[in-house]
Amino acid sequence: MKIVIIKWISTLLLGIGISHTAYAVNCNNLPTWSGNQTYTTGNQVKHLGYGYTANYWTQGNDPASFSGNWQHWTNNGACDGGVTSSAASSASSTSAASSVQSSLVSSGNCPAYAAGSSYNAGTVVSNAGGNYTCTVPGWCSSPAAWAYAPGTGAHWTEAWSAGGSCGGTPGSSSASSVSSTPPVSSSSSSAASGNFELVGYWENWHWPILAPADVPNYTVLNISFPRINNDGSLTLTNADFTQNNPTAAQVAAAKAQGKKVLLSIGGATTPLVLATQAHEDNFVNSFMAIKNSLGLDGIDIDTEKGLYTAPNAQINETNPQYSADHLVRAIKRLKAHYGTSFLVTMAPETAHTIGAQLPGNWLGQYNWGVYLPLMNALRNEISWVQMQYYNSGSMPGRNGNFYNAATQDGLVAWTEALIEGFPIASTGVQYQGLPANKVVIGLPASNAPSAAGSGYTDPTVVKAAVRCLRTGNCGSGYKPAKTYPDLRGLMSWSVQEDRLVNYYFSNSVKACAVNNQCQ
């Protein structure tokens, strides 16, 4: 109560321009922050006369420099005996000031806010003496009260607006209705006809750094990969010399050329395990910190390990039990926060997708079909899927015939299956397919073993396959029942592998992928 009253009075004094001295936090039992110590969500420290709470996994991020909206720490205020200036306590005073304002505009007997309940846009709740209206359902519904409790959470203004009347639509106040995601949006991030891409994976384990702006041909670069920590959080850093990532200025230079820059999560050997709500929150918050610091355009999911999903091939957003459930919720939260311009892409293997056309191919040793429930649940949020048409044995098309990688017929038949959909093994669930403008063909950039174990495809074959899919001019090869003029484009693994062969792959296919010149 002491802290609340002091902050309330301090905010009123700020509002009328009176300087103030506030004794806000009892820091007597708090450890002193250490740059060598690892902190996780909820850990509290004292540092330079202030108390701080960790928002998610962090190490080496000075609370004095990394506190505020979407950063590593929340500034709880000055320690008892310390002085809080209006500048140093802006985060807490802003929250309190809005709480005072909302108490003045309250009307009606609104249901009390309950962290983790499912709230829709426009829902009005009461909290901390005021009324608040939900503006971003994914954040309103988060169980992370420290962040999004209206009027008191560190980032509540990202989810709620102050005031509101309870004549509006009431939200659920049942604590059992736990959801951190908004309703599925009917809007789509799909591209208009002619919006084509050439995507390249930008590996962050090379020295010297290949500046993104120095990469020719590619329209999209995926920074690969951040470290995935055991608590679900992500770390993108150059501090331990295992990663060599671009700076914000280098990302901005690439974007100034028209490139899009995403962060790719996963890789061939790193598991992505989001087993709890805390893991999900850590994943979301740490990604947002990285995105905001670098100015990134979106997220790519490229994990090949640990993406566990329910045996019934369904995603449970209300009561998540598997990593896939939490990942869907996390992606929807990010999309709800950043809006339609935020890009969401995926890079599954063939086993994770089209391999599940066979009745016996579901989960098991090779994670058959594991991405398909995600692709169904995120069909509106996905910008495109770039399946890896390599490191694969023969796989079926929709007609039941098997096709090999690195062939025109294989590229065409597998793409058709991704677009049109198919039953997921013997689960009784249908993979719904994706529009052609949400499908990208992923290929190795060279025939070097470091690019891929198998599946390098001659650019002449690549162009013939794209021409077949977009125009129906398939020569003597397999011809789908439909044409797909909006097929989104091509992806290569990787930019660095392409550079080692003087960008032969991207030089050869760019005009086809981006300008539809596939002759």
Return d(Cα 502, Cα 504) in angstroms, integer. Answer: 5
> Can you tell me the distance from the alpha carbon of 386 to that of 348, in angstroms, rounded to the nearest whole number?
7
Neighbours of 252 (CB within 10 A): 15
∠ CA 46-51-53 to the nearest 5 degrees? 100
- Quick one: 129 exposed, middle or buried, by C-beta within 10 A (0-12, 13-18, 19+)? middle
Single out the residue of 215, 217, 214 nearest to residue 511, CA to CA: 217
What is the rounded distance in angstroms from the CA atom of residue 384 to the CA atom of residue 189?
9
Concatenate the DSSP letters of all residues of 387-451 into one string: EE-SS---EE-TTS-EE-TTSHHHHHHHHHHHHH-EE-TTSSPEE----GGGEEEEEESSSSTTT
Give 519's strand partners.
none
- Supply 256's token pair: 């100034």
Helix (H, G, I), strand (E, B) or coil at 198: strand
Q: Which residues face 444 on adjacent strands?
A: 493
Instruction: Report helix, strand or coil for 158.
Output: helix
DSSP 295: T
250: three-class secondary structure by DSSP: helix
- What Cα–Cα distance (Å) separates residue 148 from each residue in 73, 430, 509? 15, 36, 47
Active-site residue, selected from the candidate residues 203, 304, 416, 497: 304
Taking Cα atoms as reference points, which of 414, 390, 401, 392 lies closest to residue 469? 414
Structure tokens at 122: 């426009």
Tokens representing residue 120 in the block: 């829709």
C-alpha distance from residue 477 to each of 96, 320, 414, 436, 456 (Å) = 67, 44, 13, 20, 19
Strand partners, 53: 44, 74
304 is catalytic: yes
Q: What is the largest CA-CA distance in the chain?
A: 83
Q: How far is CA 17 from CA 11, 23, 86, 431, in A?
A: 10, 19, 10, 60
Separation of alpha carbons 418 and 372, rounded Å: 10
The tokens for 423 are 């039953």
3-state secondary structure of 8: helix
Q: Which helix (H) or strand (E) holds 346?
A: strand 343-346
Q: How many residues does the chain have?
A: 519
Active site residues: 304
